[in-house]
Amino acid sequence: MLKALVKSLTPPVLIHLRRRILRREPLRFFWRGVYSNFGEVPARGPGFRGQAWVNGWRTRVEAAILNTRQSALDKDEWLINSLPNGLLPLVAALSKENKRPLRILDFGGGMGVGFLSMIKCLPAQTGFEFHIVEDEESCSACSKMFRDFSNLHFHSSLPATLADVDIVHLCSALQYIEDYQALLGELAKLRPKYVFLVSLQAGNNPTFASAQLNFEDGSVVPCWFFNLNEIIQLMNENGYELFYKSDTDRKYDMSNFDERFRVSRYCNLLFIHRFNPDQNT
């Protein structure tokens, strides 16, 4: 009787989503709803901190780490063939101008995929220092997995005193930050030469929040869909100019949204620091 009561009180859309998850049916629409801010999104569950999500990535990354020790990273096609994963090493290679190791800050770097792509794509003798900012749970788990890599460092908050940062990298991360304007300002204070926003949900649409649904545990996570010109303007105000733009290959089905809110492809935006001789930085 309790089960029947709970079912009767559950919205039909959630029942349908649960059935899809339990049957492992493909979820056609990853997002639902248009909201003005994160507070309006009907969020629930652990989202990216959930065990299903974390364990899935942990398994893939542990295998990739093992392959690096066996010089067999070519086995990890998901790491090699994904264009976003290959863009950061390319930018790093082109920006290597000084004798000191290149210093990269990967905000929202997850389980260290960006670091692994650097190992795969750059010559073995290339010196670089890699800093990842993530939640405490991810930092704890990754510190153990990557304990043999002395050039990789994890932070549970933004290290504002980190000096001589060459590249700030955010891959599919900015859209999950509620106060993204403030974060871009804090990152700009580090004065990296490049700020690289990869797999960014941005287009000609107005900026809006939505509910992300593609979690096996039924979590619902708020995320932004940005107006592209707004992000470019914010970066300009922080002293950065757009240097490169591309769209991702994958096309997402957003036919459940009004046409003016559809962002079918993500974009990659590379910004370069606009040097001002009057500045001390």
How high is the mean pLDDT of the chain? 83
Identity at 151, one-letter amino acid code? N
Listed range (1-10, 78-87, 117-126, 264-273) with the worst mean pLDDT: 1-10
Alpha-helix runs per DSSP H in the chain: 2-9, 12-23, 51-69, 77-80, 83-95, 113-121, 136-145, 180-188, 228-237
Could you identify the residue written with the tokens 């492992």? 24
What are 18-41's pLDDT values in tens digits? 544 444 556 789 999 999 999 999
How crowded is the C-beta side of 265, counted as CA atoms within 13 Å? 10
Q: In angstroms, rounded to a whole number, what is the distance separating the alpha carbons of residues 65 and 58?
A: 10
How crowded is the C-beta side of 71, counted as CA atoms within 13 Å? 2
Answer whether 111's CB lies under 8 Å from 58's CB: yes
Domain chopping of the chain, boundaries: 23-273
Q: In angstroms, rounded to a whole number, what is the distance separating the alpha carbons of residues 39 and 27?
A: 25
Share of the chain above pLDDT 70, in %: 81
Q: Which of 232, 229, 182, 238 is nearest to 204 (CA)?
A: 229
How crowded is the C-beta side of 63, counted as CA atoms within 13 Å? 11
Q: Which CATH superfamily is domain 23-273 in?
A: Vaccinia Virus protein VP39 (3.40.50.150)
DSSP β-bridge partners for residue 272: 194, 241
Q: What's the pLDDT band for 118 if we cut at 50, 70, 90?
A: confident
Give the number of other CB atoms < 10 A from CB of residue 197.
25
Answer whether 132's CB lies under 8 Å from 152's CB: yes
Share of the chain above pLDDT 90, in %: 49
